[in-house]
Structure 1
Amino acid sequence: MFKDAQSDPAQLRQWLAATARKDREAFHSLYKATSPKLFGFALRILKKKELAEETLQDAYIAIWEAAAAYREQLSAPMTWMATIVRNRALDVLRRSHEHAELDGEKFDAAVASALEDPQSNPIDKLLLGAEAKALAYCMSLLEGSHRQVLAMAYYHDLSHTEVAQQLAMPVGTVKTWIRRSLDRLRSCLGKGDGV
């Protein structure tokens, strides 16, 4: 059903009209029918699966919120949605060029110094050094933009909203990146990969 619906502009227009009325089932149907193609489109622009997934998520939020603004006389439904995905993907690319990723060595040193307690004894420092190295190693496995968001939130003590404002990103994306990054750190540290 959804494969045919993807190429049926009339069905997509019906789902968009229902989505404009905040019909969740219609939106779900629209998503199932169009997301594979739009994900592929985002992936071609961004080259990274994770960024494409985030961009697609943001695009569908925008589609949900702007469905009432869709005008069938101006463009086909897939063209309209692809334009939203394209604009979101280009925003991600623009931000990634504007905000250089953190330098790995500088970041590792910053992690180590942030964790260091001046009151600790030599044994504590040795243990802390191993923990800091393990954390730095696991952090280095994260994508640069995710590492940056995590560092801003935890080492610079910024709220999710403040991180989002500084990086001109949606708060939802910041929260998702932080949650996923923390899960990856837990997994990496749990396996002892950084030791």
Structure 2
Amino acid sequence: MPPAPLSDNVFDHDAALLACARGDQRALHTIYERESSFLLGVAKRIVRDHATAEDVLHDAFVSIWQRAASFDASRGAGRGWIYSIVRHTALNRLRDSSHETTLDDTATAQYDAQTAMLAWQTQGEAWSRQADLGQLERCLDRLEPERRHCLLHAYVEGCSHSEIATRLKTPLGTVKAWIQRGLRSLRECMQ
């Protein structure tokens, strides 16, 4: 629950948001003056860093300005809507930052070396993969059509056994047996 207003006079957050929707920058400034210290506290509790919380607050006020027209007083109070924008902005920032990794110079050099080595290996393996794919194609061509279709549905299209049974209008047990026998035949052929 948001904290109480700064003074005893009543501030109409709903009206201020409607004014923002009409392009009244003074209304946004008034919201900022009245609520920013509390909203900064909300953001800081979530992101646990003062500078990041300030960035969150900035982004949230940009969002409030841009989305003020979407505020609907029949769905809730304006003050709660403002606090939810700040909370969601902070949570999104936290979520986004969890995917970031900072590397020092040594780690960066190691990463670059590993990437270069992997690229070199991948290029050499491309010829080998191409040969394997040619062999796989020949082995698939040797399978009975039903087994080949089952394997392709399962491993290329990602279908479940029951989906394959429905597509082929074949009993589930038969589909499972075809897949099992087809895989065994492929293993033998690829060796």
Corresponding residue of 2:97: 96
C-alpha distance in 1, partners of 2:105/2:64?
37
Q: Map 1:163-182; keep pairs closer than 5 Å.
A: none
After the TM superposition, list the runs of 4 or more consecutive aligned residues in structure 1 that deviate by more than 2 angstroms. Answer: 101-107
- Whether 1:67 and 2:68 are equivalent positions in the alignment is yes
Distance 1:69 1:4 in 2: 28
Q: Which runs of 5+ in 1 are unaligned?
A: 111-195
Structure-2 separation of matches of 1:85 and 1:30: 13
TM-score by length of 1: 0.49
Aligned-residue CA RMSD in angstroms? Answer: 2.2
Q: Could you tell me whether the CA contact under 8 Å between 2:14 and 2:79 is conserved in 1?
A: no
Aligned equivalents of 2:99 and 2:87: distance in 1? 18
Post-superposition offset of 1:104:
6.2
Unpaired segments ≥5 residues, structure 2: 111-191
Deviations 1:12-41 (A, max 9, x none): 111111111010111111111111111100
Taking the aligned partners of 1:88 and 1:49, their CA distance within structure 2 comes to 15
Q: Note if 1:4 corresponds to 2:7.
A: yes
**What TM-score do you get using the length of structure 2 for normalisation?**
0.50
Give the aligned partner of residue 77 of structure 1.
78
**Cα distance, 1:76 vs structure 2:** 1.3
What's the CA shift for 1:51?
0.5
Q: How many residue pairs end up in the alignment?
A: 106
Q: Which amino acid in 1 is paired with 2:34?
A: A
Identical pairs, percent: 34
State which structure, 1 or 2, has the greater radius of gyration over its C-alpha atoms.
Answer: 2
Q: Which residue of 2 aligns with 1:106?
A: 107
